[in-house]
Structure 1
Amino acid sequence: MTRISTSELRRYLLSGQIGRQGCQRVLRAPLVPRPAPAAVGHTRRFLNTTTTTATTTTTTASPVTAHEPLRKQLKEQAKALKASGKKKKKNSDNQTVPGWELTVGIEIHAQLNTARKLFSPAATSFNDHPNSHVALFDVAMPGSQPVFQPATLVPAVRAALALNCTIQPVSRFDRKHYFHWDQPAGYQITQYYEPFARNGRIVLNARDGIAAEDGDRIEVGIQQVQLEQDTAKTTAQPGDVQWLDFNRVGVPLIEIITRPQMHHPATAAALVRKIQMLLTSVDACVSGMEAGGLRADVNVSVRRTGDLAQGLGTRTEIKNLSSFKAVEDAIIAERDRQIALLDAGGVVLGETRGWSLGSTETRRLRGKEGEVDYRYMPDPDLGPVVIGAPLVKHLAESLGMLPDAEIDQLMEQHGLSSKDALSLMLLDNGARVQYYYNVLDQLDRLLGSTSTDETGHALLAANWCLHELGKLTDSPSDLRMTADGECSVSSVGLATILSHLYKREITAKVAKDLLWGVFRTEISPDGITQAIESEGLWFKELRDDEYADLADCVIEGEDKVLKEFARFKEGKSRAYPQGKLMFLVGKMMRAGPEERMDPASAERVMKARLDEVYLPGLEAAQ
């Protein structure tokens, strides 16, 4: 391929122009936004698409597109599927296809938690104005050289150790050549031949959400973990225009390459989820899939179960999957497409494919590029990376408790279910579990010796940190959860509410109203007790005889329900009619003053009245 001249490269970078001689003949869209007319507002640096110099203009801030909650996206996906008239199987029932074997390998790209870029001292900031943190090397200015930033090794090595990898004493950088507007140099610096970590493994348990067909446990090998630089961020605009933000160019990534050892879509999604949790727990990753800090490329192939000796089938790669559900859905869709193609006598081509939320099938992006197309070569401007054994030992000893051990502790010492423990670990990139610990510490302090149940108040705190807190808003970002475990509802505020609820000084309804008031900043965390006092919200529970009077009123006329209890007592029914009991308790709660009633007390008194009064009377009447 003919080398691009410096003057032509300069026109491409600064003006979005390129000669017709080269690997890309027509550039269809401007690379970066034209500056808006001058107005009062923030000063922002853009690369001008019409001049040959960098221009500073004063513009109003561009509107930021609100992040659409995943819940809303999934609802839209369900509506689109319903409108198409197709009936989709549940994923849990769609893990295998008789007569076929699926094989999956995954490549995960995760942004490292570092202050500087991989090869320049520019800051890694994702919320500042576009093109405000760009060094000369980041945009491949002629004469600029890469300078490896050693601090980026720390989170990378921590991540590799969490994945049980062997750290290589010496690793080297390579150039991966491809031409695209988000890659100023025309190549990406990575570690293809000699990565810094190899031969890891990750263990997935049933509680991680693996397919039932995989049993209680499966181990997946990690082939290698390599350092590489990120590309520019492209934002599509109306009129076939693309804006480029070079703040992201050069941000350090790790690429985690698994071995093709997964055979069920749910297990592949569980692996991505587990890796995100691991990277968060060792403070290696900036953010998760939901915020764009982790992206997954999935390699899918199928073969007939009778052809196992012939090797794996031709694989296709699905690029840039941005949610755990997308990983599972895309694998199922691509598996079914390949099987249908082979059944019809066709041939699966090696290619790169895409997936959109709400789709029912993958789409072709381009033919598969191999090693020869990328023209890998050792980077001549970068020396080898030498990682000393003392550094590896120190980082290994300072990893702290990993997710599996912490989930075990939450289950054994705090009494949480595996589902709730896993949810706490995953939410808000691990910040939710820290919030739970903060609430629990404050609750222990407030209750003191009042709590006689070692796990009772821990379960109460977990339930409210997971469920009641989540009901306050559709978007978790509205909670403003921080890494140190605080949010718009402070841990002190929630613990104060829960201490009154645990001591049965307020009802659950009052507690929820107080939580909403704190979230809306209508009640300060220090003013919760005062608000209860001033509004007369203290719980003054009914006496047992008052509960009994309510129970008698509710039971009157419910002869059919009473017969269900009589059938159980006579041995004609094996299962206690708990549903009928709760039906009566519900009527009882609605009939009485809710602010003075406790559901547990109502259930206790109702059960006693049935056993001691009504059922003996029913037997005597018979």
Structure 2
Amino acid sequence: MFVRPTLAALAPARPYICPSCLHRATFQPLISSPYTSALVATRRRALHTVGNPSTDHDAPFRKTLKDAAKQRKRERSGDSVHQASKASEPRLQKWELTVGIEIHAELNTARKLFSSAASSTNDAPNTHVALFDAAFPGSQPHFQIETLIPALRAALALDCEIQPKSSFDRKHYFYQDQPAGYQITQYYEPFARDGRITLHPHDFPNGISPQGGPIAIDIKQVQMEQDTAKTVHQPPATHLLDFNRVSHPLIEIITLPQIHDPTTAAACVRKIQRILRSVDACTAGMESGGLRADVNVSVRERHTQAAQVGNSYHGVTGLGQRTEIKNLASVKAVEDAIIAERDRQIDILESGGVIEGETRGWTLGSKSTKRLRGKEGEIDYRYMPDPDIAPVLVDKDLVAHLQSTLYLSTDDAIKMLTEGEEYNLTSKDASTLVSLDDGARLEYYLDVYQLLHLTLRSRPECLRGAGKVTGNWVLMELGALFKNEIWSADRVPPNQLASIISHLLQKKITGRTAKLLLSLKFQGDSRDVAQIIVDEEMALQPLSQEEYIELAQRLLVENPNIVKDIVEKKQYKKVKWFVGQMIGKAAEGKVEPIAAETVIAELLNLPPGKLK
């Protein structure tokens, strides 16, 4: 709720003030209640990663992920933006797209960048605002040293070189969300330079990169800067300002213009977001406004770079005239906006027109970008060193310490899970584990596997393939139960799932029984897994070979048409139907699927290997 108090609310003895809402027509500054807040500490995880942040809890298992991918494919096939893209594909043999990305991410800090006000943006509007945040006359910035730590972690995770000395500059422009008339940033001397991010096939939704292999993208610099106020529109003509966000610490990550495909740009933004979460530098993603992307888009005719040498971006010459698309709030928006702007520029150039340097906007679901304003340049912003803020000096020992204590990167985690014989997961399963639930699903998987390894270390034959089996149970079976719920490891503690899988691998229970046990634990059964097996008489008591043959023969005689399909039409998959019938007709825990399948194959005299 926005409050409009009187000026009497300002108490000189209290150093914190809270400007209330400003009407766009009058911009009348008002003061609200004194600054008070309680900070909630965020739990630091070993891996905070998301595939698609907006669907972390809505798609917690493989089937849902597949369904979502199919749905996106269907949507894209009918989307006018993608239809336009497909229609223009032949032109891309003539025109080359070039994209550079600027990502603004909110740092995970307790305090603001230049004041000790809390950095919370989710509380009531204008309740966390210090004098300097509101540009109160005579107030001075006080750099909060602790805000540098998550920024350094982010830069190190992006393989940047940390600068021993950096400084802050003023970027001048007037807008209603910028109370001082300038933004404090790092233009001339950023704290980090020369980084790199590598996109692997597993970073793309379909597991295939446009270039077929890893794609390296250089990062020009990473700089710290302050955020602006949040504008809340109340149609038709009222604009309210929430100053809680003013001076929230940001980092701006600037890539070189080395991206030539919209899918690559989207994957780059997605991976940077995962990296920032993995090192606890940022906890809020694009879905909650904690990360925003600007993309610089240009096209040029292939093999004519020399004719366009006058155009450059971040030191790369020979580019076409670029336009900037501001404030893209989702990975999908990044890809769609680039496609729309690319096709717009090609249309203009092929009709003999000229691309104007300008800032453009994009609305999700639109068919094209729209002009916002002419493009500002360095002269327009009048950058100048901030005289009130001393340079920031970073000791090399601090950098070394942070480097040595960085969390496991997503690439390293996927490499660990896919290479070697310990886990032996597929790249797809590993990527899914890493991306779900801010890394909590991966932590759970590792806990289950470790417990399983301890339980079965005396039976190495049962441990073969245990990594894959554990992955299937964590992603598929348990994931299915969480389909409409938020992930919580407490619903089925790791030791209980490990016990279920251990009994299964030792052939003490059937797969069907294991699923029933998992369901009981998920629904809150407090008994230990071993006790449930005893109480409910779930232990596997397999049929004898003669009993298997008798049951199978009876089913084959009762279903001659299915037998004919299997033997004559070679529809071998229908053997599974008989296996299911045998399991259903026998008592719980009596029939093992593999044993049943083997008996049926022998009775039907099927060729070896046809059932795999």
Q: With structure 1 as the length reference, what TM-score do the two structures score?
A: 0.77
C-alpha deviation, 1:150, in angstroms? 1.2
What is the distance in 1 between the residues matched to 2:428 and 2:85? 20
1:196: how far off?
Answer: 0.6
Deviation at residue 263 of structure 1 after TM alignment: 0.9
Aligned to 2:505: 502
Range with greater deviation from structure 2 (598-607 or 426-435): 598-607
Q: Which residue of 1 aligns with 2:577?
A: 586
Amino acid across the alignment from 1:610 = L
Superposed CA offset, 1:554-586 (max 9, x none): 463332431244xxxxxxxxxxxxxx3222212
Matched with 2:330 is 323
Q: Which string of whole-angstrom CA distances, capped at 9 and with x for unpartnered residues, describes residues 590-612 of structure 1?
A: 46417444433333333333337
Deviations 1:160-215 (A, max 9, x none): 12222111111111122333343332322111111011111222223332864423
221-230 or 375-384, which deviates more: 375-384
User: What is the SS of the residue equivalent to 1:153?
Assistant: helix
Q: 1:125 to 1:474 in 2, by over 3 A?
A: farther
Per the alignment, residue 44 of structure 2 pairs with none
| 8 Å Cα contact 2:102-2:254 kept in structure 1 | yes
- Mapped contact 2:22–2:30 kept (Cα < 8 A): no
Determine if contact 1:222/1:258 at 8 Å carries over to the other structure. yes
Matched, 1:269 2:275: no
1:287 is matched with 284
Q: Residues 14 and 53 of structure 1 are in contact (CA less than 8 Å); yes or no, is this contact kept in structure 2?
A: yes
Match of 2:221 in 1: 224
Residue of structure 2 aligned with 1:440, choices 425, 441, 449 = 449
Inter-CA distance 69–194: structure 2 relative to 1 (3 Å threshold): same
Alignment of 1:344-493 (within 5 A): 344-412=351-419, 413-454=422-463, 456-474=465-483, 478-480=486-488, 486=489, 488-493=491-496
Offset of 1:113 from its aligned partner?
2.3
1:336-370: CA deviation from partner (whole Å, max 9, x where unpaired): 22222322333322233333443443333333232
User: Closer, same or farther in 2 for the Cα pair 1:77/1:303, shift >3 Å?
Assistant: same
Aligned residue among 22, 25, 28 for 1:16: 22
How far has the Cα of 1:419 moved from its partner?
A: 1.8
Aligned to 1:599: 593
Whether the 8 Å CA contact 2:81–2:339 is kept in 1: the answer is no
Partner-residue secondary structure (3-state), 1:582: helix
Aligned to 1:187: 182
Counterparts of 1:588 and 1:528 in 2: how far apart (Å)?
A: 26
Residues 103 and 261, structure 1, Cα contact 8 Å, conserved in 2: yes
Deviation larger for 313-322 or 499-508? 499-508
CA contact (8 A) 2:293 2:328 kept: yes
- In structure 2, the residue matched to 1:255 is 252
The match for 2:169 among 171, 174, 199 is 174
In the other structure, the counterpart of 1:570 is none
Q: Is the 1:295–1:322 contact (alpha carbons within 8 Å) kept by the matching residues of 2? A: yes
Tell me the equivalent position of 2:525: 523
| Percent of residue pairs bearing the same amino acid type | 50
Which string of whole-angstrom CA distances, capped at 9 and with x for unpartnered residues, describes residues 140-172 of structure 1?
222221111111222211221222211111111
Please name the residue that 1:563 is paired with. 568
Give the distance between the partners of 2:454 and 2:370, measured in 1 at CA.
57
Distance 1:381 1:264 in 2: 43
The answer to whether the Cα contact below 8 Å between 2:456 and 2:463 also exists between their aligned partners in 1 is no
Q: Compute the displacement of 1:69 (Å).
A: 4.5
* Structure 1 residues 450-477: Cα deviation after superposition (integer angstroms, max 9, x where no partner): 453545222122223333343234567x
Aligned length: 547
Give the partner amino acid of 1:334: E
- Aligned AA (2:477): E
Residue identity in the other structure for 1:523: D
Conserved? CA contact 1:582–1:603, under 8 Å? no
Q: Is the 8 A contact 2:168 2:386 kept in 1?
A: yes
Instruction: Tell me how far 1:95 sits from its aligned partner.
Output: 11
Letter in 1 for 2:319: L
Shift in Å, 1:244: 4.2
Q: Confirm whether residue 332 of structure 1 aligns to residue 323 of structure 2.
A: no
Counterparts of 2:361 and 2:299, CA distance in 1: 18
| Deviation of the 1:117 alpha carbon | 1.8
The 1-side partners of 2:545 and 2:89 are apart by 53
Following superposition, the deviation at residue 234 of structure 1 comes to 4.1
Please give the alpha-carbon distance, in whole angstroms, between the structure 2 residues aligned to 1:228 and 1:221.
Answer: 21
Q: 1:471/1:529 Cα in 2 relative to 1: closer, same or farther (>3 Å)?
A: same
- The worse-fitting range, judged by mean Cα deviation, of 446-455 and 297-306 is 446-455
Does the C-alpha gap of structure 1 residues 490 and 376 become closer, same or farther in structure 2, counting only changes over 3 Å?
farther
Greater displacement, 179-188 / 533-542: 533-542
How has the CA–CA distance of structure 1 residues 52 and 132 changed in structure 2, closer, same or farther, with 3 Å as cutoff? closer
- C-alpha distance 106-16 of structure 1, shift in aligned 2 (>3 A): same
- SS state of the match for residue 605, structure 2? helix
Q: CA deviation at 1:433?
A: 1.7
For residues 211 and 95 of structure 1, what CA distance do their matches in structure 2 show? 21
**Aligned residue identity for 1:142:** P
How far does residue 235 in structure 1 lie from its aligned partner after superposition?
4.6
2:81·2:367 contact (CA, 8 Å) conserved in 1? no
Deviation (angstroms), 1:518: 4.1
User: In structure 1, what residue type is equivalent to 2:573?
Assistant: M
CA shift digits 1:220-241 (9 cap, x unpaired): 1110000112233445557665
Displacement after TM superposition at 1:256 (Å): 0.7
After alignment, is 283-292 or 182-191 more displaced?
283-292
Q: Do 1:351 and 1:364's aligned partners in 2 also have CA atoms closer than 8 Å?
A: yes
Instruction: Tell me which of the two structures has the higher relative contact order, counting C-alpha pairs closer than 8 angstroms and 6 or more residues apart.
Output: 2
For 2:371, the aligned partner's letter is: R
1:63-113, Cα deviation, whole Å (9 max, x unpaired): xxxx9748799999888778878874999x979822111111111122222
- For 1:17-60, what per-residue CA distance to the aligned partner results, in whole angstroms no more than 9, with x for missing partners? 57xxxxxxx46xxx9xxxxxxxxxxxxxxxxx9x9441589xxx
2:160 alignment partner, one of 161, 165, 169? 165
* Structure 1 letter corresponding to 2:301: R
DSSP-derived class of the 2:195 partner: strand
Contact 1:95/1:211, CA 8 A, preserved across alignment: no
Q: Distance in 2 between matches of 1:475 and 1:94?
A: 40
TM norm structure 2? 0.78
Q: Deviation string for 1:518-573 (max 9, x for gaps)?
A: 445x324x5444444444444444444444445442463332431244xxxxxxxx
- 1:577 maps to none
Distance 1:264 1:403 in 2: 23
1:17-56 matches, within 5 Å, as 17=23, 26=25, 52-55=30-33
The alignment yields a C-alpha RMSD, in angstroms, of 3.8
Partner of 2:461: helix, strand, or coil?
A: coil
Matched letter for residue 341 of structure 2: E
Give, as a single letter, the amino acid of the residue that structure 2 aligns with 1:336: D
The one-letter amino acid paired with 1:582 is: K
Provide the C-alpha distance between the structure 2 equivalents of 1:222 and 1:436, rounded to a whole number of angstroms.
Answer: 33
State the one-letter code of the partner of 2:560. E
Say if 2:221 and 2:255, in contact at 8 Å, map to a contact too.
yes
